[in-house]
Amino acid sequence: MAVPHHRTTPSSREEGVPPETTPFVEPPPPETSRPTVPAAPSHRLLRISQGDEIPAEIHQSVGEATPILKIENFSLWYGRQQVLFNISMPFAKGKVSALIGPSGCGKSTLLRSMNRLNDLIPSVRVSGTMTLADEPIYRSSVDVIALRKRMGMVFQKPNPFPMSIFENVVYPLRIDGERNRSRLEEACERSLRAAALWEDVKDRLRKNALRLSGGEQQRLCLARAIASQPEILLLDEPCSSLDPIATGKIEDLLQDLTGSYTVILVTHNMQQAARASHFTALMYAGRLLEYGRTSDLFTNPHLKETNDYVTGRFG
């Protein structure tokens, strides 16, 4: 509580009159920086939420890249609930493309649709087309196991098998019937080198993979995905459970893989998308909102909604 400050006037001192007092007024608190105010839903987002079909904003740069995977008017339902709406987008060959957007916007569902992992859910149905190197993915005659060999996948949490480091890496080859020891050893070293893990584990390949650190386990899972020499790597938030140092190693690895592999990365980390990807697509409520070169999307987006999202004003 503030203590009143007494001010004595000259006249009161001379005449013996009780001194006048004026209350002390506390100064206003110093101004502090205000937190970012969440943006109100825009007209576009409200229309999307109401089910209106709004065309995505796809930058010209996307069409200039050579695609390896194409999606056309793709929709997906879980039972009666539609979760993906008429998505059309290409993915550039030999580049890293990031999928960003609020939780529940359909990023992981779209990613899992690319190698048909959603087929394992009985209630799922789809419409539209996806093609890998101009070959239909959802044609009834497609060998789904062969398809998944062409698109390796790494999940949010490391999931090494309870076996040796060596056996983890060569597991995809063994289930294909490979028994030649020299070919298995060659594939193991090649894959671990590609995952930037060879120097760390080359002297303990017979050790249980579960003894590795979290970051090492995730790179091991990446090496296992690489072992079958896929055309595309699908990464579903691969760094969400890792510390910053391990995350940095994964991001460096993505740059090393550029050219040799096409990488499609789901992430909630805006800084990671900006650092690690060549192209970025923003999704919202099961729809594609904007898609372009990462540098353009983060510094000069076409849509106000994209700017609001990447600056933290919604999502």
Residue 54: which pLDDT band, with cuts at 50, 70 and 90? confident
Q: Are 301 and 310 in contact (CB under 8 A)?
A: yes
* pLDDT attached to residue 218: 95
pLDDT band at 10 (very low <50, low <70, confident <90, very high): very low
| pLDDT band of 29, cuts 50, 70, 90 | low
**What is the residue-averaged pLDDT of the chain?**
88
pLDDT at 44: 82
**pLDDT (0 to 100) of residue 53:** 81
Q: Give the pLDDT score at 51.
A: 75
Confidence class of residue 14 from pLDDT cuts 50, 70 and 90? very low
The answer, yes or no, to whether residue 4 has pLDDT greater than 80, is: no
Whole-angstrom distance, CA of residue 5 vs CA of residue 9:
13
What does the pLDDT read at residue 40?
A: 60
pLDDT of residue 39: 57
Question: What's the pLDDT score for residue 133?
Answer: 95
Going by pLDDT thresholds of 50, 70 and 90, the confidence category of residue 9 is very low
- Say whether pLDDT at 240 is over 60: yes
User: What does the H/E/C string look like for the chain?
Assistant: CCCCCCCCCHHHHHHCCCCCCCCCCCCCCCCCCCCCCCCCCCHHHHHHHCCCCCCCEECHHHHHCCEEEEEEEEEEEECCEEEEEEEEEEEECCCEEEEECCCCCCHHHHHHHHCCHHHHCCCEEEEEEEEECCEECCCCCCCHHHHHHHEEEECCCCCCCCCEHHHHHHHHHHHCCCCCHHHHHHHHHHHHHHCCCHHHHCCCCCCEHHHCCHHHHHHHHHHHHHHCCCCEEEEECCCCCCCHHHHHHHHHHHHHHECCEEEEEECCCHHHHHHHCCEEEEEECCEEEEEEEHHHHHHCCCCHHHHHHHCCCCC
Mean pLDDT for 12-30 is: 49
Instruction: Indicate if the pLDDT at residue 124 is higher than 60.
Output: yes
Mean pLDDT for the stretch of residues 82-87: 96
Give all domains of the chain, ordered by start, each with its CATH number: 54-155+233-310 (3.40.50.300)
Provide, rounded to the nearest whole percent, the portion of the chain with pLDDT above 70: 87
**pLDDT computed for residue 270 by the predictor:** 94
pLDDT (average), residues 88-114? 97
**pTM given for the model:** 0.84
Highest mean pLDDT among 48-62, 74-88, 243-257: 74-88
In sign, the C-alpha dihedral spanning 273, 275, 277, 280 is positive
* pLDDT of 13 above 80: no
pLDDT in tens, 190-231: 999 999 999 999 999 999 999 999 999 999 999 999 999 999
Q: Given a cut of 50, is residue 32 above it in pLDDT?
A: no
* Residue 1 confidence (pLDDT) above 80: no
Q: Is residue 49's pLDDT more than 90? A: no
**Inter-CA distances, 57 with 60, 72, 91, 158, Å:** 10, 15, 15, 35
Tell me if 300 sits within 8 A of 68, measured CB to CB: no
